[in-house]
Structure formats: structure tokens, C-alpha cells
Amino acid sequence: MRRTRSLLALATATIVSACGNAPSYHGDGNFIDNGPSAATGRYLLDLGPISLAEKSATQFHISGLPREMFVAGIELADKDRVGLALDKAVASAAVSMQIVDGQGKELVRVAGPLSAWTWSVSSGSKDAFAYGGYGPNASFKPQSKQSYIVEIAVTEPDPSAQAISARVMLKAGGWK
């Protein structure tokens, strides 16, 4: 009986603790927590699609992200799944992305042709994540009660990018 109460108390404390650390995301897009067993990309914020084939500028408002180091970038995929191999040669559109906090302080800034961004390409080259690389302006660690603005602009479109699906993503966490 004593052991059962101890286990019950431990389980309750674990659940309450976990709930207290749960992110309370508010804002644009779709926030996903893949759970503590995720090797990479535990936290994903999908801010939606953009077209690399036309000039555009979009702002997203976000807050309540977990206190993990986030990397912002563009998830690229073969739109029609017809076997287009994704590599830097297929993405010549110029894009700028910046993240600023509620006081206007710039936290992330990357700009230029996507081919100059850092790429993480999946096995088989069917999907890729283009991001600002490593350094002080490539990632940020959100503060718990802070709001942020993500601004993305396609400054020089690439008409041949019609076959590429592009989504604005923020990624963080994982046990690796």
C-alpha cells in the first residue's frame, strides 16, 4: 500500500511538472510538439506556404514558444512528387527572413538566393530545409512571455520554382 501511494505521488508530480512546462503557443500557423522521444524537430511551427515564383512579403505573429533554440527556414519539397531532385541548383529565388521581438530587436536575419542558404537535404533528395546556417543571426531562444514577428519576403522570384512546394518553418528541440 505504501509503495502504491509513493508511485501515485510520483506519477502525479511528473504530470503536474510536465503540464507546467508545456508551451502555450499563440499566433499564426500550426504548432506541433512531437514529444520528448523526437530525435530532432521536437517542436515544429508551420507558418504555411509561400510561392518562390512570385514576389511577396508576409508577416506572422507568434508567442508562447517553448524555451528551446529555434531555427527558422523554408521547407522545400517536390510539389507534384514527380521525382524532382532537390538541391541548391533548383532554387535561385532570393528570399529574406527576419524575426524581431516585441521591442523591435532583430534576432534572426538571413537574406539572399536560397542557393546560398544552408541546406539540410533528406535521404533521396525529395525534401530539404533551407536556413540561415549557424551563427548569431541564424537562430533564437524565445522568452516565455515575449511576442515575435516573423517577416518573410520573396525579393527576387524564380518562375521555374513552380514545381517546388515551400513552407515557412521554425524548428527546435529533440534529444540528439
Query: Does residue 65 lie in a domain region?
Result: yes
Domain that holds residue 131: 23-172
Query: Does residue 139 lie in a domain region?
Result: yes
Cell 508562447 locates to: 64
Query: Does residue 40 lie in a domain region?
Result: yes
Query: Does residue 88 lie in a domain region?
Result: yes
Per-residue confidence (pLDDT) for residue 14, from 0 to 100: 39
Q: How far apart are CA 150 and CA 168, in angstroms?
A: 10
Query: Does residue 4 lie in a domain region?
Result: no
Query: Does residue 109 lie in a domain region?
Result: yes
Per-residue confidence (pLDDT) for residue 166, from 0 to 100: 94
Q: What is the pTM of this model?
A: 0.82
Digit-by-digit pLDDT tens for the chain (176 residues) are: 555 444 444 444 334 334 444 459 999 999 999 999 998 889 999 999 999 999 999 999 999 999 999 999 999 988 765 555 666 767 789 999 999 999 999 999 999 999 999 988 876 657 889 999 887 788 999 998 899 999 999 999 999 888 889 999 999 998 87
Per-residue confidence (pLDDT) for residue 103, from 0 to 100: 94
Phi first, then psi: what are they for 2, rounded to 5°?
-60, -40
Residue 127 belongs to a domain with what CATH number? 2.60.120
Query: Does residue 91 lie in a domain region?
Result: yes
Query: Does residue 108 lie in a domain region?
Result: yes
The total number of structural domains in the chain stands at 1
